Amino acid sequence: MKILTIADQKVNVLSNVSFEAIGAAKSLGGEVCTALLCGEAGEMANQLSAKGSKVFVFAHAELTNFNDEAYASIIKTLIDREKPDVVIGSATFYGKALMARLAALCGGGLASDCTGLSLEGDAVTALRPAYGGNVFYTIQNNASTSFFVTVRPKALPEAGDDGGGEVITETVDEAMLNTKAKVKERVAGSGGKVSLTEADIVVAAGRGIRGAENVGMIEEMADSMGAAFGASRAIVDAGWTEYSNQVGQTGKTVNPKLYIAIGISGAVQHIVGMRASKTIVAVNRDKDAPIFSIANYGIVGDLFEIVPALTKKFKEVMQ
C-alpha cells in the first residue's frame, strides 16, 4: 500500500496536523510519502522527513499563500505519477477546500473530518463522527481510484521522530499557477496568539460574561495558561468577539486536552464543536446548566470571582 499525506502549512509554518496525518498513514503500514507545497521549504521538509516520510517538495513564491486551485492541480500530477491508494489531508479550513477539489479532479471518494483510520483486510476504513458525536460510522472505498481522507486536528497522535525519510525537490509547472483566483495580500486577523484548532488548552466564553467589556478578562485567563481563546455563537452574534473564535456547529471543532467553558450554558450547537475534548471543566452559576452533563469537572459560582482568582493562580504557577 502507498499512502500520500498533504502537509498543512501557513506562510511556511507547518501545522501539527501535518504530523498527525503522517502518524495515521504509518499506522496503516506500507510506503508513506508527503506532498509539501510552499514558498520556501526551509526546515519544513526536514521536519516531515524526520517522521519517516518521503517528502516531495514543490516550492515557489506563488505557493506561499494557499490557493486550492493551484495546489490541487500540482498534487494531481503527483497522484497520477505515484498512484497512492490513500491520500490523507487535514480537516482544516484549507484542507477541506483542497481535498474536496482534489477528490473531484481525481474521481475518488472522500471521507471528511475523520477521527480514526484502520485496516480491515485490504480495505482502509475511516471512522467519522455524526450527529454531534453521538453516532460514529465507518466509510470504506470500493472504487479503484485513490481514497481521499481528511483527519480532524488533535484527534490522532503525531508520528514519532524515527527518521528514515528523504526529501525530493520537484519542479513546479508555471502553467498551473495561472489560476482564476489570485492571492494579492494576506492580512493576519486579530485573533488569539494560539491556534484554536491546534491548541492543547482552550478557554471559551459564553453569554454569562454579560458584555463585550468582559471578553478581555477571559482572554487574560487564556493567556495566563498559554491557551487559545474560544467563544460561543451567542457572544459572536452579539458582536462581543470575532467569528474566528467561535466554537460549535457553525464555528470550529476543537479537540484539546483541556477545555474550560466559562459562562456557557451548553446548547447542543456548541457541544457539537467541543465534546471530543479530553477533559472539560465548566464554570457556571446555574447548577442545572446543560454543560454540566458533559463536563468532567464543574464549578458552580460567580465567574467574576472565579476567573480572576484562577488567572492570578495560573500566573503564579507559570512564572
Q: Could you tell me the strand order of the sheet in which 2-6 lies?
A: 109-114, 147-151, 86-90, 2-6, 31-38, 54-59, 166-169
Percent of the chain past pLDDT 90, that is, above it, reads 84
Q: Where are the domains of the chain?
A: 2-177, 201-318
Treating both helix axes as pointing N-terminal to C-terminal, what angle do 68-82 and 93-106 enclose, rounded to 10 degrees? Answer: 50
At 191, is the pLDDT very low, low, confident or very high (cuts 50, 70, 90)? Answer: low
Query: 285, 304, 317, 280: which is closest to 217 by C-alpha?
Result: 304
Burial class (CB in 10 A: 0-12, 13-18, 19+), 305: exposed
Mean residue pLDDT across the chain: 94
Q: Are 119 and 28 spatial neighbours (Cβ–Cβ below 8 Å)?
A: yes
CB atoms near residue 177 (< 10 Å): 17
At 190, is the pLDDT very low, low, confident or very high (cuts 50, 70, 90)? Answer: low
In angstroms, how far is CA 176 from the centroid of its own chain?
Answer: 27
DSSP secondary structure letter of residue 246? B
At 259, is the pLDDT very low, low, confident or very high (cuts 50, 70, 90)? Answer: very high
Residue 265 has pLDDT above 70, yes or no: yes
Q: Which residue has the higher pLDDT, 240 or 184?
A: 240
Which residue type does 119 have? L
What average pLDDT score do residues 202-222 get? 97
Residue 132 has pLDDT above 90, yes or no: no
In angstroms, how far is CA 166 from the centroid of its own chain?
Answer: 26
pTM for the model: 0.85
Q: Which residue has the higher pLDDT, 180 or 192?
A: 180
Burial class (CB in 10 A: 0-12, 13-18, 19+), 266: buried
Burial class (CB in 10 A: 0-12, 13-18, 19+), 192: buried
Cα maximum dimension of the chain? 61
Classify domain 2-177 by CATH number. Answer: 3.40.50.620
Which residue pairs, CB below 8 angstroms and at least 24 apart, start in 282-286?
283/307, 284/208, 285/208
pLDDT at 193: 66
pLDDT digit string, tens, across residues 2-48: 999 999 998 888 999 999 999 999 999 999 999 999 999 989 999 99
pLDDT digit string, tens, across residues 57-104: 999 999 999 999 999 999 999 999 999 999 999 999 899 999 999 999
Topology alike, domains 2-177 and 201-318 = yes
Q: Are strands 116-120 and 109-114 parallel, antiparallel or unpaired?
A: unpaired
Residue 187 has pLDDT above 80, yes or no: no
What average pLDDT score do residues 139-152 get? 93
Classify domain 201-318 by CATH number. Answer: 3.40.50.1220
